């Protein structure tokens, strides 16, 4: 899209580029709101040395981001290979929902 295309080009670029931005923002909010935030901070608070607390928090953050990134990449690879048919999309929605419910139940049992 050029500047004279009636504005459609910039809107397409904004939609494409904003996906990643909003994914990161929602991921950060989700991470802060979840139990990982509490579980990540509690051990750091109990450490008496600020350097050790900072190192723990930094390691926790980096490892969380890496694990989530690996999981997202694997899930993206799996879903990409399944194709984009209506049947595959429905199956992925069901599988994702069941996995989410199972993780929730496991968390409730562990707590």
Q: How far apart are CA 74 and CA 54, in angstroms?
A: 30
Tell me, what's the pLDDT at 1?
A: 46
Q: How far apart are CA 19 and CA 78, in angstroms?
A: 20
**Mean model confidence pLDDT for the chain:** 79
- Computed on alpha carbons and rounded to an integer, the radius of gyration of the chain in Å comes to 20
Residues in the chain: 111
In eight-state DSSP terms, residue 102 is: H
Of 28-32, 57-61, 80-84, the range with the lowest mean pLDDT is: 28-32
Tell me, what's the pLDDT at 5?
A: 52
Beta-sheet strands, E only, within 1-111: none
Which residue in 108, 89, 25 sits closest to 100, CA to CA? Answer: 108
């Amino acid at each position: 899209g050029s500047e004279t295309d009636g504005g459609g080009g910039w809107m397409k670029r904004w939609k494409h580029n904003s996906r990643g931005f909003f994914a990161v923002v929602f991921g950060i909010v989700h991470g802060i709101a979840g139990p990982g935030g509490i579980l990540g901070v509690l051990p750091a608070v109990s450490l008496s040395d600020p350097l050790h607390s900072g190192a723990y928090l930094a390691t926790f953050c980096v490892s969380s981001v890496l694990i989530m990134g690996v999981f997202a990449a694997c899930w993206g690879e799996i879903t990409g290979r399944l194709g984009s048919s209506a049947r595959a999309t429905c199956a992925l929605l069901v599988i994702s929902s069941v996995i989410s419910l199972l993780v929730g139940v496991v968390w409730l049992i562990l707590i």
